[in-house]
Amino acid sequence: MTNPPQFTILVNSTDSFEDCWQAFFTLFSIYWPNCPHPIVLNTETKCFSYPGLNIQCSQIGSNESGKRLSWSDCLIRCLDKIDSKYILYLQEDYFLNDYVNTDVIYDFLQIMEREGYSHIRLKATLANNPHEPSSKYPQLWKIPQRSNYRIGLQAGLWLKDQLKFYLKPNETGWEFERWGSRRARKINDSFFCENSDYFKRQNKDIFPYYPTGIVKGKWFEPAVGDLFKQHNIEVDYSVRGFYKLDKTQNLIQLLRSKVRKLLMLYIP
């Protein structure tokens, strides 16, 4: 394999999620051992380091009046501090639970460089979003122009300048996914995601994590409980508490799990 284009791993966070950082980077160091790439942790004022990882904290500060910046303004300022052409976008609650498939990530980066693609998402967003098979790369799906989540914040590779292009000031992450997708509908850009059928048949996950570890500001037990115990990661769960699914949500989770298993059995 030829060397992939240089890229920076951006872990988008905020000072108030400091309690995630030790767990995130503990698991990152286990499941991406000897990671050679620079890592930027997006913070307002705080610093963090972890042995063996090249972590730089953005410390983007506050606005001119001293108030906390919006989610999108924080990310824009952080991107301005990154020199690399490409980034791998992550968030601090994307807790790895298995080894990263770096070969696929490097393959995707080479495809982006060769084809001029702007974005390859490493987790497909399937709900109400049919994808189009790529005519050239069987491991990719094309994200349709009018997809509800043409812009998504799951783990993904981005042409840095294009991610910044779609960002607008004073938006939350949820608003960016919603209104950014509306903006992206008007632009003939190249957005792709993993072909999840292709990788499931190979029993592979590119960047294995449960989306996501924190829901509405609270820990999501299915994502972190057993995982943190397995790796002796200690967290004071009482500070945030746990997010509880209601009966309908639990049923939906169960049905989705059963459907995925059936598809794996009967789809060649």
Region of residue 66 (phi > 0: left; psi between -120 and 50: alpha; otherwise: beta):
left
What pLDDT is attached to residue 265?
Answer: 42
What pLDDT is attached to residue 268?
Answer: 37
What pLDDT is attached to residue 124?
Answer: 79
What pLDDT is attached to residue 132?
Answer: 83
Cβ atoms of residues 163 and 191 within 8 Å: no
Cite the beta strand spans of the chain per DSSP E.
7-12, 39-42, 55-57, 86-91, 119-121, 132-133, 140-142, 156-159, 191-194, 214-215, 218-219
The mean pLDDT values, 10 residues at a time, for the chain of 268 residues are 85 97 98 96 97 96 78 97 97 97 96 97 72 89 89 96 97 95 93 91 90 94 96 95 69 48 41
Domain ranges of the chain: 7-212
Output the CA torsion sign for 216, 149, 184, 10: positive
CATH architecture of the domain covering 7-212 = Alpha-Beta Complex (3.90)
What pLDDT is attached to residue 180?
Answer: 95
Give the 3-state secondary structure of residue 41.
strand
Question: Which residues fall within 8 angstroms of residue 206, CB to CB, at 6 or more apart?
Answer: 100, 101, 104, 105, 122, 123, 155, 194, 199
